[in-house]
């Protein structure tokens, strides 16, 4: 491992020597304001669980969280022993035999404190694992109907990477979250970075969105060049759409609003990235405290 003295809050649980992984791609997803409908964290967990990834490292919580905001959870383990689960960031590694890339999933909560120290720890982990590409994953609330395909925006500052992965060049200037700070730090260290955002309807803000999760998994599978079974996600997506439609039908104003969203969506080119790019940028600018 590299420069671990710079990352005292990064604990390694399993040895992964440089060169052990084949051109690994690191996915980073954080619960919080950039995880609408829990879509991005659920997508990363889905891939982690599908490939039975091994837990190799943890960025401990103590230095990076205000526990009155991000509270720890009490749970019972398999022996019914009560234990505390802290809001840390875990890294899991999966070897994918038939693919060109192995997979690293970094999943956690957006920290409240010491962001520069936190992203330095993330960068040390990415360098230690020889990540060939880092993909930050997010989801945002936007004016889209739940009855239409979920749009996923992919962006990068790397023009060659944009051409290879069919991404949009990033020109955003303004406030950002931990994924933006992480991306900037990794780019400064010479790593390739791409960002992926899924859109979630504003009128179902507090409901998990398997439909957005499915869209992210499909997009990330293309980046990984793998074929991931998605039957469970598709069933969940269909059930989500049906249940939301039932709730919408119970309120005339909401029904009218959704019909207008559908008309607007259908009038625009669904594969036009500019609209979603603008919505991602507006979302970042209009967060509380910015």
CATH number at residue 143: 3.40.50.10900
| Host domain of residue 229 | 4-285
Q: Give the whole-angstrom CA distance, residue 229 versus residue 242.
A: 22
| Alpha-carbon span 122 to 269, nearest angstrom | 37
Any domain includes 155: yes
Low-confidence ranges of the chain (pLDDT < 50): 1-2, 290
Rounded to whole angstroms, the Cα distance separating 227 from 262 reads 31
Degrees, nearest 5: CA angle 173-179-220: 110
Number of domains within the chain: 1
User: What distance in Å separates the CA atoms of residue 274 and residue 67, rounded to the nearest whole number?
Assistant: 38
- Spatial distance between the Cα atoms of 69 and 57, rounded to a whole number of angstroms: 24
The C-alpha angle with vertex 198 and arms to 205 and 183, in degrees rounded to 5, equals 115
pLDDT tens for 216-270 read 999 999 999 999 999 999 999 999 999 999 999 999 999 999 999 999 998 875 5
Two tokens at 198?
Answer: 């899924």
Are 137 and 247 within 8 A, CB to CB?
no
**Residue 205 corresponds to which tokens in the numbers above?**
């803000």
State how far the Cα of 257 lies from the Cα of 262, in Å rounded to an integer. 9
Give the model's pLDDT for residue 1. Answer: 45
Is the residue at 45 inside a domain? yes
pLDDT of residue 287: 55
Concatenated DSSP letters for 78-115?
TT--EEEE---EEEEEE--TTSS--EEEEEEE--SS-H
Structure tokens at 79: 């022996």
> Does residue 290 fall inside a structural domain?
no
Assigned token pair, 282 = 């507006």
Q: What is the pLDDT of residue 16?
A: 76
Q: Give the C-alpha separation, 252 to 87, whole Å.
A: 40
pLDDT given for residue 155 in this prediction: 92
Assigned domain for 34 exists = yes
């Amino acid at each position: 491992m590299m420069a671990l003295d710079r990352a005292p809050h990064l604990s390694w649980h399993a040895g992964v020597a440089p060169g052990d992984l084949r051109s690994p791609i690191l996915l980073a997803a954080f619960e919080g304001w950039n995880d609408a409908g829990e879509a991005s964290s659920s997508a990363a967990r889905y891939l982690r669980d599908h490939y039975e990834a091994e837990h190799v490292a943890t960025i401990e919580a103590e230095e990076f969280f205000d526990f009155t905001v991000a509270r720890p959870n009490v749970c019972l383990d398999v022996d019914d022993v009560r234990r505390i689960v802290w809001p840390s960031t875990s890294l899991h590694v999966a070897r994918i035999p038939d693919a060109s890339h192995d997979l690293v999933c970094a999943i956690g909560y957006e920290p409240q404190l010491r962001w520069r120290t936190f992203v330095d720890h993330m960068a040390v982990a990415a360098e230690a694992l020889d990540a060939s590409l880092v993909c930050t994953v997010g989801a945002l609330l936007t004016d889209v109907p739940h009855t239409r395909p979920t749009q996923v925006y992919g962006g990068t500052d790397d023009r060659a990477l944009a051409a290879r992965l069919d991404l949009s060049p990033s020109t955003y200037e303004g406030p950002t979250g931990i994924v933006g700070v992480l991306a900037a730090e990794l780019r400064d260290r010479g790593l390739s970075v791409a960002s992926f955002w899924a859109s979630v309807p504003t009128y179902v803000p507090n409901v998990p969105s398997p439909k957005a999760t499915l869209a992210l998994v499909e997009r990330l599978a293309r980046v990984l060049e793998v074929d991931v079974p998605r039957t469970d996600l598709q069933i969940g997506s269909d059930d989500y759409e049906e249940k939301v439609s039932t709730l919408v039908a119970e309120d005339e104003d909401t029904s009218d609003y959704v019909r207008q969203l559908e008309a607007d969506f259908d009038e625009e080119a669904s594969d036009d990235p500019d609209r979603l790019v603008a919505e991602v940028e507006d979302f970042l600018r209009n967060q509380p405290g910015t």
